[in-house]
Amino acid sequence: MEVFNLPLETIYLYGLIGSGILTILYVFFADVVHFDGPDFLNPVIILAFVTLFSASGYLFEKLSAFHYLLIVGISAIIALILVTFLNVFVLIPLSNAEESLVYKESDLRGRIGAVITAIPADGYGEVMIESFSGRIAKPATSFDRVPIVNGTNVLVVDIKDGVLQVSSHQEIENYLL
């Protein structure tokens, strides 16, 4: 069958090339074009569906003698199943994982960490804080202007310009008692 004087396999091929180019452009410019709509209208899902539909339609047109309506139906079902798997097993877990790994520096205030590089009285050291998503190592200074040795547990008192201001955790416990 022909549409606009073009064989169907050519139309499928044009659809495959066009959706492939749009997918590459979307990968590069996805941060500029932010999507906040329903999940089924997500551009990634739509482009994946068109790409898979065009690819399977092209292959069926080239390699089989099925009727064109059967090829359209089979291609749509294949694309729908694969896009559903892509969404459920890749896109949704990735979007959830991205949110869980994010932290703000203000969230570190009040947390307890361990000194991994000794902090001099008027200098910089480094503190390691355990987190849900792993460990966070940040530069640190002594809040009380006293040296803090390696391995000491510290309390994050404040954060200025990305540098933690910490106080020895033992001193805080003695102060509170």
- Residue-wise pLDDT for 103-162, tens only, equals 777 788 889 999 999 999 899 999 999 877 788 899 999 998 999 999 999 999 999 988
Among 33, 68, 100, which residue terminates a domain? 100
Q: Does 128 lie in the same domain as 95?
A: no
* CATH assignment at residue 123: 2.40.50.140
Are 57 and 69 in contact by the 8 Å Cβ rule? The answer is no
Q: Is the pLDDT of residue 18 over 90?
A: yes
Q: Looking at 84-174, which runs of residues are DSSP E strands? A: 112-117, 125-131, 134-142, 153-160, 163-168
- Residue-wise pLDDT for 102-113, tens only, equals 677 778 888 999
pTM: 0.56
Q: Which domain holds residue 136?
A: 105-176
- Nearest alpha-carbon partner for 52 in 93, 85, 28, 29: 85
Q: Is the pLDDT of residue 177 over 90?
A: no
For residue 127, the one-letter residue type is: V
Are 160 and 145 in contact by the 8 Å Cβ rule? The answer is no
> Between the CA atoms of 60, 62, 68 and 70, what dihedral angle is there, to the nearest 10 degrees?
-20
